[in-house]
Amino acid sequence: MIPGPTPLRDEVRAALAEPVRSHTSVENAATVRRVQRGIRECIGSAAARVHVFAGSGTLAMEVALVNHAAPGQRIVVVSHGYFGDRFIEIGRALGMQVDVVAAPWGEHIDPAELRRVIFEGDAPAVVTLTHVDTSTGVLADVAALAAPARAAGAIVVVDGVCATGGVEERFDEWGIDVLLTGAQKALGVPPGLAIVAVGERATARRTELGRIAAYYADLRRWDPVVDDPTKYFSTHATSLLRALEVSLDAIEAEGLPQCFARHATNADALREGMSELGFRPLTAPAVLAPTLSVLGLPDGVDDAALRSAVAAEGVIVAGCLGPFAGRGIRVAHMGAVGQPEVLRTLDAVRSALTRASHISA
C-alpha cells in the first residue's frame, strides 16, 4: 500500500509473462499506438503527442524542462512538497533561472500569489505544477494555476505521476501544454516507463529552441518513433509497454468516471477507518488527493515501529518525507487497489496498534 509501485492486476502480471517482443515489431508498434490512445483518453486530450520511453518519472520531469526552456531562461516552479521541489533541482542543473512559489506542507498555494510571481519579472518560459504531490497528498487546482501561466505565455508543465489514471485530468480544457507521468502508480504497471504528453504550443516551443543539450531526452529524436513505432531510436521497454496496454484496457473497461469514483470511495473509506484508529490527515481537508493519504500518527505512536508492526501483518505502508518525516505514514489507494485491500490495511493497522505494545514512542 505504498504510493508506488502499486499492486498489479492479474492480467497485467500475465502480460509480463508473455514472450518478449522485438522493439521494432508490428506487434509492439500496435501496442505503442494503443498506449498513446489510452494515455490521451486518461488525460483528456484529443491530439497530444504521447512519448513513452524507458525511464522513471524523474526522467520525464527532466525531459519536460530541457525540451521547453533554454539555459538562462526563467522558469517558475509551483511546489506543494518534495516532488514539486524536485523541479527546482532539475531546473538549476539545466542552468535555468528558477523562481519558486511554495506552500506550507499540506496546504495549497494561492493562485493570486502565483500570478504575482509570474508577472513580477521576465516572462517565464515554463511554469511547473504537480497535480498530486506524493509527499504531502495535496491535490492541486491545475486549472486555476495554469491560467496565469498561460496568460504570461509560459509552457504549462504538469507532473501527473501520482494522479494520471486515478484523478480526472483535462489536458485540453485546463490549458496544459506538457503532462508527464510514470506507469507505477495509478496506471498499475511496474516501474520503468516515462510518459510525456505534449501539446501543440509545447511542440512549437521545442522547434523554436533548436538544438538542446540532450540526446536521449530530446523529444525531436523520438518524434519519428511516435509517428511510426516500428522505427528505431532507442530500444523500447517492450514488456512494460505490453503491460501498460493491458492496464489501460482494464481502465477503459471499467470506465474513467467509474475509475475516478472508485479512487475517491477508497480514499474516503481508508481515511474514515484510520480516523477511528486515531489517525488524522496532515493534508488540508479541502485539497485531499484521492490517490493517497498522508496521515498523522496517534499520540505516543512511533512511526518506524508502527510500520514494522503493520508489515508483520502483511501490509506495507510508507513513511513520510521532509517536514512530515516521523510524524505520520503514507498509505496509497490507487491503481488496482479496491475495497478488499483497504479493509485488509485497516485490519493490519488495528492489529498492530492493539497487539504490538512496542510501537509506542
Q: How confident is the model at residue 144 (pLDDT cuts 50, 70, 90)?
A: very high
Q: Check residue 183 and give its pLDDT.
A: 97
Q: How confident is the model at residue 36 (pLDDT cuts 50, 70, 90)?
A: very high
At position 228, the amino acid (one-letter code) is: D
The parent domain of residue 38 ranges over 10-252
| SS3 labels along 81-147 | CHHHHHHHHHHHHCCCEEEEEECCCCCCCCHHHHHHHHHCCCCCCEEEEECECCCCCEECCHHHHHH
Average pLDDT of the residues in 98-126: 97
74 in helix, strand or coil?
strand
Q: Round to whole Å and give the CA distance between 245 and 268.
A: 29
Average pLDDT of the residues in 67-73: 98
49 in helix, strand or coil?
strand
Residue with cell 479493509: 343
Q: How confident is the model at residue 355 (pLDDT cuts 50, 70, 90)?
A: confident
Q: Check residue 360 and give its pLDDT.
A: 60
Residue 361 pLDDT > 70, yes or no? no
Q: Check residue 356 and give its pLDDT.
A: 66
Question: pLDDT per residue over 178-189, tens digit each?
Answer: 999 999 999 999
Residue 277 pLDDT > 60, yes or no? yes
End residue of a domain, out of 233, 252, 271: 252
Per-residue cell: 315: 501490509
For residue 129, how many C-alpha atoms fall within 13 Å in the half-sphere facing its CB? 32
User: Looking at the structure, do residues 220 and 125 belong to the same domain, yes or no?
Assistant: yes
Task: Please count the structural domains in the chain.
Answer: 2
Q: Is residue 2 a part of any domain in this protein?
A: no
Distances in Å between the Cα of 40 and the Cα atoms of 34, 180, 227, 239, 246 are: 10, 12, 15, 21, 15
User: Looking at the structure, do residues 166 and 71 belong to the same domain, yes or no?
Assistant: yes
Q: Is residue 3 a part of any domain in this protein?
A: no
User: Looking at the structure, do residues 182 and 330 belong to the same domain, yes or no?
Assistant: no
Q: Is residue 106 a part of any domain in this protein?
A: yes
Beginning with the edge strand found earlier in the chain, give each strand of the sheet holding 178-182 in spatial order. Answer: 49-54, 193-198, 178-182, 155-159, 126-130, 74-79, 97-102
At position 128, the amino acid (one-letter code) is: T
Per-residue cell: 163: 494522479
Give the number of residues written for the chain: 361
Q: Is residue 169 a part of any domain in this protein?
A: yes
Q: Round to whole Å and give the CA distance between 120 and 143.
A: 21
Q: Which of 43, 266, 245 is nearest to 142 (CA)?
A: 43
Q: Is residue 324 a part of any domain in this protein?
A: yes
> What sections of 120-255 are H helices per DSSP?
142-151, 171-174, 200-209, 219-227, 238-254
Q: What is the CATH number of the domain that holds 276?
A: 3.90.1150.10
Residue 248 pLDDT > 70, yes or no? yes
Question: pLDDT per residue over 168-213, tens digit each?
Answer: 999 999 999 999 999 999 999 999 999 999 999 999 999 999 999 9
Residue 96 pLDDT > 60, yes or no? yes
User: Looking at the structure, do residues 15 and 156 belong to the same domain, yes or no?
Assistant: yes
End residue of a domain, out of 198, 224, 252: 252
User: Looking at the structure, do residues 210 and 292 belong to the same domain, yes or no?
Assistant: no
Rounded to the nearest 5°, which phi and psi values hold at 156?
-90, 115
- Residues 204, 209, 210, 213: is their CA dihedral positive or negative? negative
Q: Is residue 119 a part of any domain in this protein?
A: yes
Q: What DSSP string runs through 310-341? A: HHHTT---EE--GGGTTTEEEEE--TT--HHH
Q: Is residue 264 a part of any domain in this protein?
A: yes
Residue 21 pLDDT > 70, yes or no? yes
Residue 270 pLDDT > 60, yes or no? yes
User: Looking at the structure, do residues 196 and 119 belong to the same domain, yes or no?
Assistant: yes
Q: Is residue 5 a part of any domain in this protein?
A: no
Question: pLDDT per residue over 306-318, tens digit each?
Answer: 999 999 999 999 9
Q: Round to whole Å and give the CA distance between 51 and 339.
A: 33
Percent of the chain residues past pLDDT 90, beyond the cut: 98
Q: Strand 178-182 and strand 155-159: pairing?
A: parallel
User: 332 - beta bridge partners?
Assistant: 292
End residue of a domain, out of 230, 252, 274: 252
Contact assessment for residue 334 and residue 182, using Cβ atoms and an 8 Å cutoff? no
Q: What is the CATH number of the domain that holds 226?
A: 3.40.640.10
User: Looking at the structure, do residues 170 and 187 belong to the same domain, yes or no?
Assistant: yes
Q: Check residue 357 and give its pLDDT.
A: 60
Residue 233 pLDDT > 60, yes or no? yes
Rounded to the nearest 5°, which phi and psi values hold at 76?
-120, 125
Lowest mean pLDDT among 159-163, 200-204, 270-274, 354-358: 354-358
Average pLDDT score, the chain: 97
